[in-house]
Amino acid sequence: MLNKIYDWVDERLDITPIWRDIADHEVPEHVNPAHHFSAFVYCFGGLTFFITVIQILSGMFLTMYYVPDVENAWKSVYYLQNEVAFGEIVRGMHHWGASLVIVMMFLHTLRVFFTGSYKKPRELNWIVGVGIFCVMLGLGFTGYLLPWDMKAVFATKVGIQIAASVPFIGELIKILLAGDAEILGAQTLTRFFAIHVFFLPAVLFALLAVHFIMIRRQGISGPL
Amino acid sequence: MHRGKGMKFVGDSRVKMNDRMPNIPKDYSEYPGKTEAFWPDFLLKEWMVGAVFLIGYLLLTVAHPSPLEGPADPTNASYIPLPDWYFLFLYQLLKYTYVSGPYNVIGAVIIPGLAVAALALAPFLDKGPERRPSKRPLPTAFMLLTLASMVYLTWESVAHHDWEAAKAQGVITDKDLGLLPDVEIDETSPGYEIFQSQASCIGCHGGDLAGGTGAPMLLGNELTAEEVAEVIKNGRGAMPAGVFEGTDEELQILAEFIASLKEKE
């Protein structure tokens, strides 16, 4: 039955090459921890993606309770944390995942750097990777404000001050982020929410897609 | 390998070796030793690594609930800010003399900008064919130096932060939870007006009389009018003496008003 459905679709769309790219390719020995234990360093990229998937799922559930306005943001997080069944676990996974994804991504970056894997022909994928790194830091920075507690507001204040010190366009960046030249308040919270939940994830998905397509086009770099 | 279902092209989409791209890795089948099919053999092993990782991740989540401080009060001027841990090195960098104040642009823009640009352009700065770290000393040295300074700056930042004060300033109070004592405030009384007109009163105890950072809540206090007047005149604890501006009569009215804020039985 499944085979027949597969054949029916394949006849029309030729999905076998896609399937081959996603699943039916060979993994060389030097990246396989089953053969060389030190090859676990090649797991960091996969683990980064794994945590990213968890972040997306837990974040989707968080938005079922979270209310992005100054009056209710903190209350909704407090409620989620203390009253909702497993709310503490879901928020905990999103909170710790945010740190772990930075750690894993950093380790992945170091692995690629120290194995010289960014060299020709993989320069473009390295640049996309640095872009993903910046987007992740942006997600961390904007997500930190959303619980709207004391540490969130004051850390964001410092962050926006740093952004404002950029020559020429600093003031514009500040207004774009905070929604106001002076006040860090209701506007800032809704903007950070929009950036954290819509803008940056959209950029992240695009960059991840490019990152993975390029890996399939070029293969994993050979052994040192 | 031909696995197509009747269609001609079943390809490996990796870029083919040609004259323009001589640095293409060899085909997997050319590696000596044990290559393995990604699906399902290798994916299963990857999933085992993922499962072990997930256990550690969930233990962390269960053992340490994610922190939540009191609700934001952007007008609080005494709060010592601290960013998330992975920005601490940058935060610490901005405390040094020649990267802060008038030189702020160096620490906040130029140094981080150069670092990110150098990272993004690494393939073009390090163009040689060598891949082993030992064979390309400069990139390796720069990266190790950067890592060492990031670790050092993060360490310094953690060591110089007053963690006890940070913990105290973030505590969620009854006021935050809307659990104020059941006190009726007569907002038409002259004592209330005097309280609201004194910047030193509302600055610490709050316009809603519910207290603030380091200042106790006045609602539901257990003092008599004489004791309140005494505290206003001479101060107590962190409260300085003689900050009340007004006549003795006004002070008396204020003291009686505050003493009247008793919780209902």
Instruction: Check residue B265 and give its pLDDT.
Output: 63
Mutate to test the interface with A, among B34, B57, B88 (most CBs of A within 10 A): B57
B15 at A interface, C-beta within 8 A: yes
Q: Is it the case that residue B47 has pLDDT exceeding 50?
A: yes
Decide if A96 and B64 are in contact by the 8 Å CB cutoff.
yes
What does the pLDDT look like over A140-173, one tens digit per residue?
A: 999 999 999 999 999 999 999 999 999 999 999 9
A42 at B interface, C-beta within 8 A: no
How far does A162 lie from chain B, in Å, by closest CA?
Answer: 6
Q: Tell me which residue in A89, A121, A166 faces B23 most closely, judged by beta carbons.
A: A121
Judge whether A185 lies within some domain: yes
Give me the mean pLDDT over the A15-37 stretch.
82
B47 at A interface, C-beta within 8 A: no
Give me the mean pLDDT over the A33-40 stretch.
90
Judge whether A136 lies within some domain: yes
Chain B residue with minimum CA distance to A48: B50
Judge whether A224 lies within some domain: no
Where in chain B does DSSP place strands (E)? 36-37
Eight-state DSSP code of residue B101 = G
Cα gap B126→B129, rounded to integer Å: 9
Q: Encode burial over A3-15: b for 16+ CB neighbours within 10 A, e otherwise.
A: eeeeeeebeeebe
Instruction: Check residue B7 and give its pLDDT.
Output: 41
A7 interaction partners in chain B (CB closer than 8 Å) = 5
Instruction: Check residue A91 and give its pLDDT.
Output: 97
Residue A200 identity: L
Judge whether A223 lies within some domain: no
B88 to A112, A123, B1, B159: CA distances (angstroms): 24, 30, 52, 11
Give me Rg for the CA atoms of chain B. 33
In the predicted model, what is the mean pLDDT of chain B? 84
Query: Could you give the domains of chain B?
Result: 85-160 (no CATH), 190-259 (1.10.760.10)
Decide if B131 and A113 are in contact by the 8 Å CB cutoff.
no
Query: SS3 for B8?
Result: coil
Q: CB–CB of A59/A140 below 8 Å?
A: no
Q: CB–CB of A76/A66 below 8 Å?
A: yes
How far does B66 lie from chain A, in Å, by closest CA?
Answer: 5
Q: CB–CB of A75/A149 below 8 Å?
A: no
Instruction: Check residue B23 and give its pLDDT.
Output: 47
Please tell me the total count of domains within chain A.
Answer: 1
Chain B residue with minimum CA distance to A116: B131
Mutate to test the interface with B, among A154, A168, A187, A213 (most CBs of B within 10 A): A154
Q: CB neighbours (10 Å) of residue B264?
A: 8
Rounded to two decimals, the ipTM of the complex is 0.92
Q: CB–CB of B120/B199 below 8 Å?
A: no
Cα gap A100→B132, rounded to integer Å: 28
* Partner residues linked to A27 by β-bridges: B36
- The domain that holds A128 is classified in CATH as 1.20.810.10
A9 at B interface, C-beta within 8 A: no
Instruction: Check residue A199 and give its pLDDT.
Output: 98
Give me the mean pLDDT over the A23-36 stretch.
84
Task: Please give the backbone phi and psi of residue B107, each rounded to the nearest 5 degrees, phi first.
Answer: -80, -35
B62 interaction partners in chain A (CB closer than 8 Å) = 89, 92
Judge whether A14 lies within some domain: yes
Structure tokens at B119: 């990272």
Chain B (88-147) residues lying within 8 Å, Cβ to Cβ, of chain A: 90-91, 94, 104-105, 108-109, 116, 119-120, 122-124, 126-127, 129-133, 136, 139-140, 143, 147
B168 interaction partners in chain A (CB closer than 8 Å) = none
Decide if B83 and A100 are in contact by the 8 Å CB cutoff.
no
Q: Tell me which residue in B29, B65, B82 faces A88 most closely, judged by beta carbons.
A: B65
Q: Is it the case that residue B95 has pLDDT exceeding 70?
A: yes
A133 to A188, B49, B64: CA distances (angstroms): 23, 23, 26
Q: Tell me which residue in B29, B120, B169 faces A150 most closely, judged by beta carbons.
A: B169
Query: In this complex, how many residue pairs, one in chain A and one in chain B, have their CB atoms less than 8 Å apart?
Result: 260
Angle between helices A44-62 and B43-63 (to 10 degrees): 50
Cα gap A148→B68, rounded to integer Å: 9
Instruction: Check residue B242 and give its pLDDT.
Output: 83
pTM for the structure as a whole = 0.84
Cα gap B67→A154, rounded to integer Å: 15
Q: Is it the case that residue B10 has pLDDT exceeding 50?
A: no
- 3 state SS for A5-48: HHHHHHHHHCCHHHHHHHCCCEECHHHCCCCCHHHHHHHHHHHH
Judge whether A178 lies within some domain: yes
Range of the domain at A155: 1-19+27-218
Q: CB–CB of B229/B255 below 8 Å?
A: yes
Instruction: Check residue A207 and give its pLDDT.
Output: 98
Q: Is it the case that residue B239 has pLDDT exceeding 90?
A: no
Give me the mean pLDDT over the B152-174 stretch.
91
B174 at A interface, C-beta within 8 A: no
Confidence of residue B28 (pLDDT cuts 50, 70, 90): low
- Of B3, B96, B149, B24, give the one whose Cα is nearest residue A122: B24
Decide if B42 and A27 are in contact by the 8 Å CB cutoff.
yes
Vertex B161 angle, CA B155 and B165, to 5°: 150
Mutate to test the interface with A, among B61, B142, B213 (most CBs of A within 10 A): B61
B35 at A interface, C-beta within 8 A: yes
Angle between helices A87-114 and A123-145 (to 10 degrees): 150
Q: CB–CB of B206/B198 below 8 Å?
A: no
Query: SS3 for B162?
Result: coil
Q: Is it the case that residue B5 has pLDDT exceeding 80?
A: no
